[in-house]
Structure 1
Amino acid sequence: MLARSSWLLRCGTAAFLSGTILLSGCQKKAPPAKAPPQKVEVYRLHTQSVTMETSLPGRVEAYEQAQIRPQVSGVIVSRSFEEGADVKAGQSLYQIYIAPFQAAYDQAKGRLMEAQASAQRAEQQLKRYRELVQARAVSQQDYDNLLATTRQAQAQVMQGKAALESAAVNLNYTHVKAPIDGRIGRTLYTEGTLVTANQSMPIAVVTRLDPIYVDVNLASEDMIRLRRELAQGRIERQGNDAAVSLELPDGSSYGQTGRLALSEVTVDPATGTLVMRAVMPNADRLLLPGMFVHAHVHEGVDPHGLLVPQVAVQRNSKSDPYVMVVDQDNKVHLRSITIGRTVGSSWQVMSGLSDGERVIVKGLQKVHPDAVVSPHEISAEQSVVE
């Protein structure tokens, strides 16, 4: 009886194990869960009115600048201006010790008077001799000698006048004056300093600040385009020249409008650019020589402009621009485009995109053509932040 129970127990265990094996063999492995679409941020393009302008880096240059150097040697005895003040043309700036130059002037004047007296005496004597030689009271030789003496005396008068004029010029040079209207800078020369004529170091610099120049570098192809647009009347004018506005180093706008007044006649072969000069009003003296600014030339308005954020534009190995476009089925497509100039933080689209299309601005590294994505539409301002 015990043996029979043991046999039944073994048979039951074997049957249970066999059933378990069969059940496990019938179960299939579940497929992996499908990854959700990649989340990306997209910007929808819209036609808009776009102000067309060319932005050029430039440097402010003085309209006029005079480096003042002494024309005579001497000791500075007085200074009659305040550093950083505005001065007028002809205003006295320095006084050089005048005594030796006054003495030289007086001496030249005395020599001139002496020469004039000698010449007058010779002329009167020559007048008498002219009558005597006609009456044969004196010889022709004596008359000729007196004539030469008279002409020599007249020459000495001319030399005396030149010496007096030279002395007067040097005397006037002791009064160092401003040659132009403008603002005078700092000086390293004070009373008691010995200065020399035509020294290399200026004793003062006067700069005219209103108006003022802004020199910009313009690519030759842009110069051709601007001149063509100016001739067609597409560029805002100030008088007969193109109007120019400025952006200051702190990013603020300069409140005055100037004009492009001059361009170089040659193009730099190394850079392919030429220098153009704008004339800007500067009554408040905000613009100073040496300052870097950005000049903007306004070229009109495109009422049907299309802009794409710069962060959306990529380039291939040939440097050709392209974007990733998301269609109505949220499928990604690579689209080659043609871009023009920059407008703020966007590119102007010339071809390849149309109104209403969506381009990816964030998540570009995680997508590829023909992939399905989960787009989230953002505004232009948000695309700039991203």
Structure 2
Amino acid sequence: MIFFRAATHSRNLALAAVTSVLLAGCNDSAKQAQAPAAPPPSVTVAKVTSESVRQSAQFVGQIAAVDQVDLVARVSGFLEKKAVPDGSQVKKDALLFTIEKAQYEAELSKAKADLASAKANAGLQSANERRDRDLLDKGHISQANYDATLAQKQQAEASVQAAESSLQQAELNLSYTDISAPFPGQIGKTTYSVGEVVGPSTDPLAKLIRLSPVYVNFSVSESQYLNAVKTHGINPADISPDESPDISLILPNGTPYDEKGKIVYIDNQVDATTGTISFRGQFDNKDIRLLAGTYVTVVLEAPESETALLVPQAAIQRDQQGAFALAISADKKVEQKYVELGQQIETNFVVTKGLKEGDEVIVEGLQKVRPGVEVDPVLASKPAEQS
């Protein structure tokens, strides 16, 4: 009898436990059914705008001197004088170096004496020729004797010409002892010290570079070249300083150079190894800031402004298929739109395909959404950085 009561009590406890679990599950389901749905995520959007812009393209260029020359000694001798310090800016025809002159002054004096002697001998032989010609006419000498006298006269005249050439060479050699600047510019570091022997077979004495104007050399791919012909109105046949479109530079420290330049040369063929065409611009370089060898960014601008669509840089993302933006549809859902981009203008990109004016693109909150998700768009009050 006691056993029966204990078993009944155990069954009652088990039923009570199961009932409690089921009731708890029903309560949780009811609470979940009554909970409100989460609101759509808030994102910041900006509109694609249409603005007037001047298209441009950028290329890597290098500054080059219009004129540069290695100053080489054309005669041998001791370096007697350095007329200007290394690094000096000099004018055209300014004296730079002097080679010892004594040897060449002596050679010049000898050449003058040799010429005087040759002229004296030529005068004597000319007189002999006139005398023998008269004797020949009178029958007092043979033709052979006259011919010998005539040959001596002609030989003496040739000696005069040789002496004159030697004199000219001696004068040239003496002039070569003074080395002057062939154009205005800046002289570099001198290779030799005063007292060392220099000559045509030794290294250059120094390098002289013209500082103003300067060239900027850059290369353009075939496709960029065709775009330049179309967009910038560049025609190699018409290139001249008066007709060329303006080009500008961005210096290595990122600052724009405040002087405009012109395209002065376009190569007449494509480099087969690189697939590029060589361009050359020229700048006056009045402030002497552009030094030969400096790498710069060359900016080629279109001659006129045109209307283009602009999308904020913060809205652009990229994957394996290319650049895209997350746009907002009419029902406030996210759409992934692949785009084709043009040049970057400050914090915007020119978009040539994939978006239209007035489209809203997400610029903040990109990490919270994916295509097809409904969002709460908030129009940006100012350009936003990509989050």
Give TM class, smaller chain: 0.7 to 0.9
Give 2:358's match in structure 1, choosing from 356, 359, 368. Answer: 356
Aligned residues: 376
1:189 pairs with 2:186 = no
Which AA in structure 2 matches 1:215? N
Residues 213 and 279 in structure 1, CA contact (< 8 A), matched pair in contact too: yes
User: Any conservation in 2 of the 1:66–1:180 contact (CA below 8 Å)?
Assistant: no
Residue 301 (structure 2) aligned to one of 283, 291, 298: 298
The equivalent of 2:204 in structure 1 is 202
Change (3 A) 1:379 1:69: farther
- Asked whether the equivalents of residues 43 and 383 of structure 1 are also in contact (C-alpha less than 8 Å), the reply is no
- 1:259 aligned to which of 257, 262, 269: 262
Q: Who is 1:25 aligned against?
A: 22
Please state how far the C-alpha of 1:228 moved relative to its aligned partner.
Answer: 3.7
Structure 2 CA distance for partners of 1:175 and 1:302, relative to 1, 3 Å: closer
- Amino acid aligned to 1:72: V
Residue 236 of structure 2 corresponds to residue 239 of structure 1: no
Cross-structure match for 1:289: 292
Map 1:59-138 onto structure 2 (within 5 A).
59-138=62-141
- Extract unaligned runs of 5+ from structure 1: none
The CA deviation at 1:276 is 0.7
* Offset from partner CA, 1:2-53 (integer Å, 9 cap, x none): x9xxx8x999998798567446424254349755544544332222222211
In structure 2, do the counterparts of structure 1 residues 291 and 268 end up closer, same or farther at CA, with 3 Å as the change threshold? same
Letter in 1 for 2:207: V
Aligned 8 A contact 1:219 1:274 in 2:
yes
- SS at the partner of 1:71? coil
Gap runs ≥5 in structure 2: none
| Distance in 2 separating the partners of 1:90 and 1:222 | 44
Using the aligned pairs only, state the percent identity.
29
Instruction: For residue 328 of structure 1, report the CA deviation from its aligned partner.
Output: 4.0
SS of the residue corresponding to residue 86 of structure 2 reads coil
With normalisation by structure 2, the TM-score equals 0.87
Instruction: Tell me, in whole angstroms, the C-alpha distance in 1 between the residues paired with 2:356 and 2:304.
Output: 19
CA deviation map 1:307-337 (0-9, x unaligned): 22344334453x4432221224331111122
Query: What amino acid is the match of 1:261?
Result: V
Q: Report the residue type matching 2:149 in the other structure.
A: L
CA offsets 1:69-121 (integer angstroms, 9 cap, x no match)? 10011111111112222212221111111111111111111111111111110
Change (3 A) 1:121 1:380: farther
Report how far residue 167 of structure 1 moved.
1.1
The 3 A distance-change label for structure 1 pair 228 and 326 is closer
Structure 1 residues 181 and 302, CA gap change in structure 2 (3 angstroms): closer
Using the TM superposition, name which of 327-336 and 92-101 deviates more.
Answer: 327-336
Change in CA separation of 1:82 and 1:279 when aligned onto 2, cut-off 3 Å: same
Q: Distance in 2 between matches of 1:380 and 1:202?
A: 61
Give the secondary structure class of the aligned counterpart of 1:147. Answer: helix
**Structure 1 partner of 2:226:** 224
**CA displacement, residues 162-213 of structure 1 (integer Å, 9 cap, x when unaligned):** 11111111111111111111111221322112112242x2212111111111
AA aligned opposite 2:211:
L
1:47-66, aligned counterparts within 5 Å? 47-66=50-69
Q: Does 1:333 align with 2:335?
A: yes
Give the structure 2 partner of residue 342 of structure 1. 344
Taking a change above 3 Å as real, the CA distance of residues 77 and 232 of structure 1, as seen in their structure-2 partners, is: closer
Residues of 1 paired with 2:314 and 2:133: CA distance? 103
Selected match of 1:372 from 371, 374, 378: 374
Please state how far the C-alpha of 1:366 moved relative to its aligned partner.
Answer: 4.8
